[in-house]
Structure 1
Amino acid sequence: DDVLHLKTRALTTDKKTCHLTEKEKEAKWYYNLGYALVATSPDKALEFINKSLEIRLEILPEDHATIGFCHHDIGRAYQNKSMFDEAIKHYKESIEIYEKHLLDEEEYQFNITERYRRCHSNIAEIYTKQDDYDSAFNFKMKALTIDKKTCHLTEKKKEGQCYYDLGCQLAATIPDKALEFINKSLEIRLEILPEDHATIGFCHHDIGRAYQNKSMFDEAIKHYKESIEIYEKHLLDEEEYQFNITERYRRCHSNIAEIYTKQNNYDEILYFKMKALSIDEKTCYLTEKEKETQCYYDLGYTLVATNPDKALEFTNKSLEIRLEILPEDHATIGFCHQNIGAAYENKSMYNEAIEYAIKSLEIRDKILPLICIETAASHSTLALVYSKHQLDQSEKCNEHCVKALEISKQS
C-alpha cells in the first residue's frame, strides 16, 4: 500500500500523467509493476496486469489502447509460463484493439504499430513451437508487412524471409524441418535475387548450422564455405542487413574449425581458426605469432577432456611461442600451465598435474588480485589432486582447500 501511494504520487508529479484521474493512475501503476515483472515473475505480473485491466475496463471504453496493452502483456506473461493457448487468446485481443488505433495521432506509452507487429511475431513464434507451421507462416507474413524495415519488400521477398525466419528458429531443435524451410527460402531467393546476394549467404550459413546439428559435417562445411564466398563480397557494404556480415563471416570460419576438430583434421583447423581470429574485432590487432599461439591454446583447451595427449601437444606449442614473445609471468602463460596440468590429471599423471597447477598458481599470485575466482580455482584443483591421488599429502590438501574457501567467501 505504501509503495502504491508513492508510485501514484510520482504519477501525479509527472507532466505526462498528472492529468489522469486517481483510478487511471492506480491502473497505470499496476500495469507498470506487472510489465516490469513479466520476464522474471510472470505469475505476479499476471496478478498486477489483471488488476490494471479490471480497473481500465471499469473506467475506459473496452477498445481503448491501454486495454490493448494489458492484453498484450498478459499474453507475454502466459507465453513465459508456456501457457500458449492463453497467450494467443490475449495477443489476438490486443491485435483487435491495436487495429483501431494504428492511425491515431495521440501519443501513447508505447508505439502502437510496433506493438501490433510484435503480437503477430509472438503468435508466429508460439505456432512454430506447436508445429502449426501454416499459421506461423501467416502471422510472420503479417508481421513483415507491418515492420518498417520490411514493409517495402515484394510478396516473394517476404515469403523468402518468412521461410528463412522459421528455419532459423528451428535450426537447433528440429534441424530437418529447419532444412526444409531454409531450402524453400533459398529456392525463392535464387529466383529473384543475384546468386551472390547477402541473404543467400545467410541461407547457406543456416543450412550449414542445421547440417552441423545433424552431425552431417561434410554437408555443413560445404554450405559454410558457400556462405563465406558470398560474405567476402559484402564485407565493406554500407547497407544494413538482418545480421552483421563480418560477425557471420567469422562464425563460419569458427564453425568449420569446430567441425575439423571433431574430425581430427588439425591442419585445416589451424587455417580456419587463424582466419577467425583475423576477422574478430577483439583479436584482429594481434601479431601473427600471437594469433598462432592463441590458435594452439584454443585447440588444446578444446581437447583437454577428450584427447589429453593432443591437448598437451597443442598447449605446449602455445606455451613455447608465448615464452618467446611474452614475459614469463604473463597471465596467458599461467593459463597454459593450468591446462597442461588439467591434461596431465586426465592422463592420471598426478605429479606432473601438481607441478603445472603450482606453476599456474605462482603466476596468478603475482599478477591477479588475491581475491580472484581464478586463483580460487587453482587452489581447488590442487586440493582435489592431493585428496584423490596424493593421500600422504593431507596437509597440503587442507591448505589449498582452506585458501580456496577463503577466497570464495571474499569474492
Structure 2
Amino acid sequence: MATTLSIQSNQNLDTFILIWLDSLVNISEDNIDTKKILRKAITYVVSFDDTEKCLEFIRSHSQEKIVLIVSGRLGQILVPRAHQFSQLIAVYVYCSDKKRNEQWAKDFIKIKGVIVDLNDLIKRIKLDHMKRNEYNIDESLPITFFHKNPQNKQFLIKNNDNFIYFQLIIDCLSLIKPTLNEKNKLILFCKEKYKDNKNELNIISEFEENYSSNRAIWWLTRESFVLPMLNKAFQTININLLYNFNFLISDIRKQLIENKYQAPIRTYRTQLMSSQEIKLLKYYIGEYVSINTFFITIPNRKHAIEMFKDSDTDSGLKRVLFEIDADPQLENMKPFSDITSLNYSTGVEIIIFMAGTIFHPVDICQENDITIIQMDACSDNDSNIKTIIDNIKGEDYGATPDVFSLGYILAKMKKFDDAEKFYNRLLVELPDDHRSVVSCYKGFARIAMEKEDYDLSIQRYQKAFNMEQSVLKPDDPGIASGYSTIADVYVKKCAFTEALQLYNQALKIWIRALGNDHLKVAVCYKNIARIFEMQSKYNEAIDYYEKVVAIYEKNSTVNQADLAKLHNHIASIYTFIDDKNHILKHYKLALKIFSKIYSINHPDVIGALKNIGHTHEAAGNLSQALAHYEKIASIHRELLPSNHPEINEIQLDINRIKSQIK
C-alpha cells in the first residue's frame, strides 16, 4: 500500500533528458564520474551501449527535449536515423579522432560539436544548457485544443476531451484546501530525486525552511526545480505530483487574484515550436486553446523579440511570438497579473496567466523568420465550453470540487490504474471518517463501471451505499442518489427491472424532499424514459420525456439548448410510431429554441430545418419540404464555397423534390 503514495523515482520529471551512447559508457570510470557531474546540469541522464535500444528510447520520448552524447563510431550509425526526430535538439560527438568524425558530422545541423577532451565536453554541455534555461523558450508548451463542431472526427473529439479534463483538473487543484502533508511529500521526493545535485539540494532545503504563501510566485519564477517539475506534471497529467504541488498552485492563484491586472493589455510570449505544433494552431484559428501551465509573458514586444537573438533553430524548431490581448473585465476569466514586484528577478516586467487560461486564436501570420500567433484571452463562461464541462462533471464530481474529484476525472480519462492508486493513497492519508471511505469506495465502483465490470461496480457502490444508510435518514436526498447511481449500473447491464425499481425508489424520495419540479426529479424521469425507450415501449417513454420537458420549461437555470435537444429526441421517438403531427410539433419547437439562442447558420439550426424538411417530405408535403431545403441552401450559399459537400447534398434534396412536384 505504501508504494502508492510516492511518485515513481525512475520517472523523468524534467523537460530535458541527457542520453549517452557509448560501448564503454558503463565501464569506463571517467565516464561514470562524468555522468555524475553532468547530472548537475541535466538531472535525468540515461546511458546506452546498444544503438537500437538508444534509438527506440529517443523515438518513444516525443514529449521531452533530448541532448545526446555519442561516440564517433556509434554516432555514424545512430545520428542519420535519429536526426529527424524533433525531440532530439542537440548532439555532441565525443571521440578520439576529431578530424575524421568532423567529416560525417558536418552534414547534421543538430551536432553542436565534435569534442575529444572530456573537460571541454562537460563545459560545452553546461554552457549550452545554461543558454537554454535563460528564457526557457524551447521548453515544450503544454497546450490542449477545443473545437466547437468536432463532427464525429475522432482526433477532434479526443482533443476536446483532453481540453475539458485539464480544465476540470486545474479547477480542482485551485480550490482544494491544501494540507502540510502534500508539501512535505513533495520535499521528500525532491530530495531523493536531486540527491546527486548539491546545488539543487540547497535550494530544496531553502524552499523547505522559507516557503510562504505570499512568495509562491517568487518561487515559481526562480531558476530551480519548481517550474520545470510543475510544467512536466502539467504536461503528463501526473495527478500524484500535481496533488503534492496543490499548495503552490493554490497560493499562486491567490496571488494572481490579489494582484489582478485592472486594464486591457497586449502582452507577448517568445517560444520555439515545431512545424507540426504551428500547423495544429493554424487548424484551430477561431476555436479555443488552453495553455496548461503558468503562462509567463512580457508586455514589451521589442524585448520579447530580442529573446530570439541567441535562440538555436538548428534543431528544426521555428521562432514563434504569441501576441496576446487580455481584458480582465471579462466575467469568470482565470486571473492574470503583473508580477513585477513579486518576481524573483526584480525589475523585470512580467505578466503571468493562471494555468489553464483559455485563449481564442485569431490569426497567424509571418514577420520575417518569426511566426506571429495572435490570441485573445477568453472567459470560462463561454457557452461552447461551459455546457460540456457541466455535463461531464455529473453528480460524482460534486458541486464544489474536492480531492475525490481528481480521482473522478482520472476515471473519466480512462486512466484507471492511476485512479485506483490515487484512491488508495487517499484511503491511507485522509482521516478514517465516514465521508472519506464512502467517497473512495464510490471511486472504486466508478472505475469498475468504466471498465465494464458491472457486477464489481454494483458490489462496491452497494458497500458505499450501506455506509451512507447507516448515518442518513431514509428520506434523505443522499439515499435517493445512492439508489439512482446503482440503477445506472443496472442499466448498463441491461437489467431493466432492477434499474426501474431503484429509479422509482429514488424518485419518491426526491419528490418528497425536493418537490415535483426539481431538476433531480427531471433526471430521474429521463432515466426511466430511457429504459422504456430501450425496451421499445415508446408511448411510456414519451410520457416520461414530456414530464422532463414540463420541468425544464419551469426552471430558468436549464440550458435552452438541452431543452431543444430534448424536443429533437422526442420527435425521433415519435418516428417509431409514425405520428408525423407530433414529429413536426417537436422539431418545430426545437427550431424555435435553437433560432433564439444561435445564429441562423449554426449546425443545430440547420439540422432542425433539415429535420422538418425530411418530415414534410415523408408526409407528402412536398412544397413545405422544398421551402425548408431552399432555406438551408440559401444559408449555405452565403457562407460556404460553391463546391462544398453540404451545398451539393442540399441541392440533391432540392432536385429530388422538384422532380416529384413536376
Q: TM-score, normalised by structure 1?
A: 0.50
Which structure is higher in strand share?
A: 2
Q: Which one has more relative contact order, counting CA pairs under 8 Å at least 6 apart? A: 2
Q: TM-score, normalised by structure 2?
A: 0.33
